[in-house]
Amino acid sequence: MQTPIQITPVAFIKSPYKQKFAIPRQPNLVREAIGEIHFEPTFSDHNCLREIEQFSHLWLLFQFHETAEQGWTPTVTPPRLGGTTRVGVFASRSTFRPNSIGMSAVEFVDVVQSGVSLILRVRGIDLLDGTPILDIKPYIPYADCVMASTGGYAPAAPQNSLQVNFSMVARTQLETFNTRYPDLELFITHVLQQDPRPAQHVKSEKNREFGMFLYDLNIRWRVADQTCEVFFIEAVDK
């Protein structure tokens, strides 16, 4: 029996994604998603990030904290295979893993030092709000980008499958939040173009209404004939 390894998060991320539903299935599919990595006091020394601006992209190692206690199974059903075909857990990026560890390559934005608080801002995230960050490493193109690699059952980025429209009511509501979230319409559009509905239920959920939380907003939408309509946007009291 191996001795357990203790890992302490170095930071936690503040993300516009407030629930697992609607988070892109891979990083960089929605560039408007900007996260703020807030470092724990032990690691809030600006020297920890010295010269990090030299790198355009970074690796984030994190914990799938919301599903960590749900355990794991040897096989999983990736969305790219319709959610019905099983593959080995180590041949997937499933959140249900033996050690609940995830990794994402994200784009560096900037570093903000405010008093004793140290914040690293990154773009293109696919992390839930409050996710513990275990480590951060620079993305090294010559080593991390393998030109002759193959992607198995996920050879290329998924094609945007939905056309997204906003109702007149939703457009009026968008104007209300424009000052606070200037890229909100584009952000919502790119999230919904990924079709966040569970793969195995897409065909059976026509005209059903859905809701998702981005920032402090509840966005209501429905899908019919490959067209997604956003029909209501409201602020949610915290």
Please state, as a whole number, how many other Cβ atoms lie within 10 Å of the Cβ of residue 86. Answer: 13
Spatial separation of the C-alpha atoms in residues 197 and 25, rounded to whole Å: 11
pLDDT tens, 75-94?
999 888 888 899 999 999 99
Is there a domain that residue 154 lies in?
Answer: no
Last residue of a domain, one of 112, 144, 176: 144
Spatial separation of the C-alpha atoms in residues 162 and 155, rounded to whole Å: 20
Is there a domain that residue 197 lies in?
Answer: yes
Question: Are 121 and 206 contained in the same domain?
Answer: no
Spatial separation of the C-alpha atoms in residues 166 and 193, rounded to whole Å: 13
Question: Are 189 and 98 contained in the same domain?
Answer: no
Is there a domain that residue 152 lies in?
Answer: no
Is there a domain that residue 93 lies in?
Answer: yes
> Helix/strand/coil (H, E, C) string of the chain?
CCCCCCCCCCEEEECCECCCCCCCCCCCCCCCCEEEEEECHHHCCHHHHCCHHHCCEEEEEEECCCCHHHCCCCEECCHHHCCCCCEEHHHCCCCCCCCCEEEEEEEEEEEEEECCEEEEEEECCCCCCCCEEEEEEECCHHHHCCCCCCCCCCCCCCCCCCEEEECHHHHHHHHHHCCCCCCHHHHHHHHHHCCCCCHHHHHHCCCCEEEEEECCEEEEEEEECCEEEEEEEEECCC
Note down the domain range covering 187: 163-235
pLDDT tens, 104-154?
999 999 999 888 899 999 999 999 999 999 999 999 999 999 988 999 988
* Structural domains in the chain (count): 2
State the sign of the Cα–Cα–Cα–Cα dihedral 203, 28, 94, 68. Answer: negative
Question: Are 124 and 27 contained in the same domain?
Answer: yes
Question: Are 44 and 96 contained in the same domain?
Answer: yes
- The tokens describing 50, both together, are 């010295």
Last residue of a domain, one of 144, 175, 194: 144
Write out the chain's pLDDT in tens, 238 residues: 688 889 999 999 999 999 999 999 899 999 999 999 999 999 999 999 999 999 999 999 999 999 888 999 999 998 888 888 999 999 999 999 999 999 999 999 999 988 889 999 999 999 999 999 999 999 999 999 998 899 998 888 887 778 999 999 999 999 999 899 999 999 999 999 988 887 666 655 667 889 999 999 999 999 888 899 999 999 997 5
CATH code, domain carrying 208: 3.30.2310
Last residue of a domain, one of 110, 144, 178: 144
Alpha-carbon distances of 229 from 163, 179, 189, 211, rounded to whole Å = 8, 23, 10, 12
Q: What is the pLDDT of residue 171?
A: 96
Question: Are 29 and 135 contained in the same domain?
Answer: yes
